Structure 1
Amino acid sequence: MPHALVLQSDFGYEDGAVSAMKGVAHSVSRLLPIYDNTHEIPVFDIWAGSYRLWQTVMYWPAETIFVSVVDPGVGSERRSIVAKTKDNQYIVTPDNGTLTHLSQKVGIVSVREIDETKHRLPNSGISHTFHGRDIYAYTGAKLASSIMLFEDVGPEVNLEDVELLPFQEATLSEEEITGMIDILDIRFGNLWTNISYELFMKLNIQYMDKLVVKIFHGSRLIYENNVSYGKSFGAIHVGEPVLYINSLHNLAIAINQGSFAKAYDIGTGTNWKIQIGKLASPE
């Protein structure tokens, strides 16, 4: 029985790149169930690709094969790899940091370098700019259809040699939590932080309590306000900001029926810090 093949990339849908990847996979086996995670990752944004994998992988069954292609170094000396998670799922991807969140949050137990002399779409060797089609979709389809096993991918890679992006955990100091803006809930403009529900609860917060929220880009203060903690967006009036727990059980901030990211021109990544603290008690 074939396993699910899940594709993600920064290719978008304006040309035939995604369709070509699916065509290659179907040429390996017409029985493969092929699904899309997203193909709207911002171009070259490896961090976002890493996050979207973590956001999704945990909800798919064991033996699912994921192909993730955000590959600004395509055609360079960076490796092509397949990683096995502790939950027995497989990620086919460039070795460029795409595994960062899965390594930190899920666990990678084994990585193999793809032997491109064996696992490359036939007659594709002249081009070196579309490895998503020629190597990753092709290799992923062979794994998903059980034409080959993980052990046949190629030589093992030392886990310590796998490329990872700088990663920071949120921290609690006295009555203030410092974290980062990990990613955007893009369509709605909400900010998703790396502050876990468990860490946030150490502030002893109740629904509708107000907290001081500060957002920095580097050392520059971008936003400061007192924001209510609500169960969902409807807890506050339209146009007001709200802190809430998102679907990954992390703290997020939104504007009810508005885009927080657009309103304050907020970005994501390690340079975007957020501080959450209790209001000072009146003297």
Structure 2
Amino acid sequence: MKNALVLQSDFGISDGAVSAMHGVANSVDHELKIFDLTHDIPPYDIWDASYRLWQTVTYWTKGTVFVSVVDPGVGSTRRSVAVETGSGQYVITPDNGSLTHISRTEGIVAVREIDESVNRLPKSGESYTFHGRDIYAYTGARLASGVISFEGVGPELPISSIVQLPVKEAIAEENKVEGIIDILDIRFGNLWTNISRGLFKTLAIPYGGTIEVEIKHDGRSIYKNMMTFGRSFADTHKGEPLVYINSLDNMAVAINQGSFAKAYGIRTGSNWVVIFRKIEE
């Protein structure tokens, strides 16, 4: 049985890199269905790659193979791995932290290191700078098309050995919840947090209610203001900020028809903290 192959990278589409990956996969099996998750990950941004995988993986059927190539350590001693997720998909990627979000949410049930003596594009010579084409796309296509089994990827590794990026878990305290800015809704500049709807609801803020929002970077306050908690952008006027529940059932911060991230220079990661405070009347 053939499974879908889904590609992600920070390569962009202004040159032939992504097309080369498609070509390698197609050469393995002309009938293989190949899709793109995104190739607009910011260059070298492993955190972003990790999040985009988690954002997407569970919407694909069991057996789907993802290839994620954001690889600032290409040619170094970092490992190339394939993992089976708790929801039954496979991810092929450098072992550099790009599995962090999936590991925390879906779980990883098995890990194998890619045996490059077998799973490497024939006649790829001694190039060590395009593993996305020569190793990851090639191995991913072989796995998705059934040329190799998961066991055929290479030797098994301990799950605990997978590299993890530092993550600050969302917490609830008296009259406040605190988390991090996990990712940006890139096109619109909204801030997506790791604070779940359920955790936020412990504050008992009704729709249309007001809440204080503070954003800190490395402990320094960057932004602090009162906002409306709304169901959608229609609950505020153009140019006004709001708090809402995003499509992943987590809390988000936005400016109606504006870019919050651009307006205040906000980025993502464990050192970008967001705090929602209930104001006592």
Q: Same fold (TM over 0.5)?
A: yes
The 5 Å alignment of 1:140-155 reads 140-155=140-155
> How many angstroms apart in 2 are the aligned matches of 1:157 and 1:96?
15
> How many angstroms apart in 2 are the aligned matches of 1:173 and 1:125?
57
Deviations 1:46-98 (A, max 9, x none): 00000000000010000000000000000111110000011110000001001
Unaligned segments of structure 2, at least 5 residues: none
Q: Which residue of 2 aligns with 1:253?
A: 253
Q: Which residue of 1 aligns with 2:215?
A: 215
The DSSP-based 3-state class of the residue aligned with 1:203 is coil
Counting matched residue pairs gives: 281
Alignment partner of 1:174 is 2:180: no
Tell me which amino acid in the other structure corresponds to 2:115.
D
> How many angstroms apart in 2 are the aligned matches of 1:59 and 1:169?
24
> How many angstroms apart in 1 are the aligned matches of 2:160 and 2:125?
30
Indicate the RMSD between aligned Cα atoms, in angstroms. Answer: 0.7
Deviations 1:188-221 (A, max 9, x none): 0000000000100011111011000000111211
> How many angstroms apart in 2 are the aligned matches of 1:170 and 1:229?
19
The DSSP-based 3-state class of the residue aligned with 1:243 is strand
The DSSP-based 3-state class of the residue aligned with 1:212 is strand
Tell me which amino acid in the other structure corresponds to 1:275.
I
> How many angstroms apart in 2 are the aligned matches of 1:218 and 1:144?
42
The DSSP-based 3-state class of the residue aligned with 2:82 is strand
> How many angstroms apart in 2 are the aligned matches of 1:223 and 1:33?
45
Unaligned segments of structure 1, at least 5 residues: none
What is the TM-score with the length of structure 1 in the denominator? 0.98
> How many angstroms apart in 1 are the aligned matches of 2:164 and 2:220?
27
Q: How much identity, in percent, do the aligned residues show? A: 61
Q: Which residue of 1 aligns with 2:126?
A: 126
Q: Which residue of 2 aligns with 1:110?
A: 110
What is the TM-score with the length of structure 2 in the denominator? 0.99
Deviations 1:214-237 (A, max 9, x none): 001112111111000000111110
Displacement of 1:280 in angstroms is 2.9
Moved over 4 A (4+): none
Q: Which residue of 1 aligns with 2:46?
A: 46
The 5 Å alignment of 1:258-277 reads 258-277=258-277
Q: Which residue of 1 aligns with 2:61?
A: 61
Q: Which residue of 1 aligns with 2:21?
A: 21
Q: Which residue of 1 aligns with 2:86?
A: 86
Q: Which residue of 2 aligns with 1:225?
A: 225
